C-alpha cells in the first residue's frame, strides 16, 4: 500500500476527493472513498513564466488549503495521480507519495 498526500484550495477539496475515489484511491477493506483532511495555509510565490491559479507573478501568496491524505494500492496509483492532475487547479500540485509497511510484516 501507498499513502498519498496532496494539498488543494478548500474550494476544490470535494471535487478532488471525488476524483481520487473514482480512480480507486482511498480503498480500505470493504470501504471506499476513505481520506483524512486537515486545513491549513499554503504559501508560494509564482516566479517568471508561471501561470498561477491564484496570485501574481513575483508576489508572495497565501491560500486556505486542505491537506488530503489517503491510502492507495500500487496498482491504482498511476490512475489516481492522473485523476488528481486532471482536476487540481494548480499548475504544479504538490503530491507526496509514501510506501507503507503492513501490520502483518511487523
User: Element (H or E) spanning 81, and its range?
Assistant: helix 74-87
Tens-of-pLDDT digits for all 106 residues of the chain?
999 999 999 999 999 999 999 999 999 999 999 999 999 999 999 999 998 898 899 999 999 999 999 999 999 999 999 999 999 999 999 999 999 988 777 7
- The domain 2-105 is classified under which CATH number: 3.40.50.261, 3.30.70.120, 3.50.50.60, 3.90.1150.10? 3.30.70.120
Collect all residues with Cβ–Cβ distance below 8 Å to 3 and sequence separation of at least 6: 69, 70, 71, 72, 97, 98, 99, 100
Neighbouring-strand partners of residue 98: 3
Residue 102: CB atoms within 10 A of its CB come to 7
Q: Is 26 left (phi over 0), alpha (psi -120 to 50) or beta?
A: left
Q: What is the pTM of this model?
A: 0.90
Amino acid at each position: 500500500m501507498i499513502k498519498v498526500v496532496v494539498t488543494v484550495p478548500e474550494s476544490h477539496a470535494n471535487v478532488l476527493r471525488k476524483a481520487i475515489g473514482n480512480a480507486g484511491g482511498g480503498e480500505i477493506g470493504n470501504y471506499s472513498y476513505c481520506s483524512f483532511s486537515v486545513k491549513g495555509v499554503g504559501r508560494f510565490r509564482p516566479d517568471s513564466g508561471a501561470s498561477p491559479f491564484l496570485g501574481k507573478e513575483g508576489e508572495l501568496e497565501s491560500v486556505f488549503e486542505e491537506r488530503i491524505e489517503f491510502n492507495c494500492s500500487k496498482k491504482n496509483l498511476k490512475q489516481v495521480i492522473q485523476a488528481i492532475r486532471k482536476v487540481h487547479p494548480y499548475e504544479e500540485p504538490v503530491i507526496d507519495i509514501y510506501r507503507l509497511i503492513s501490520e502483518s510484516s511487523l
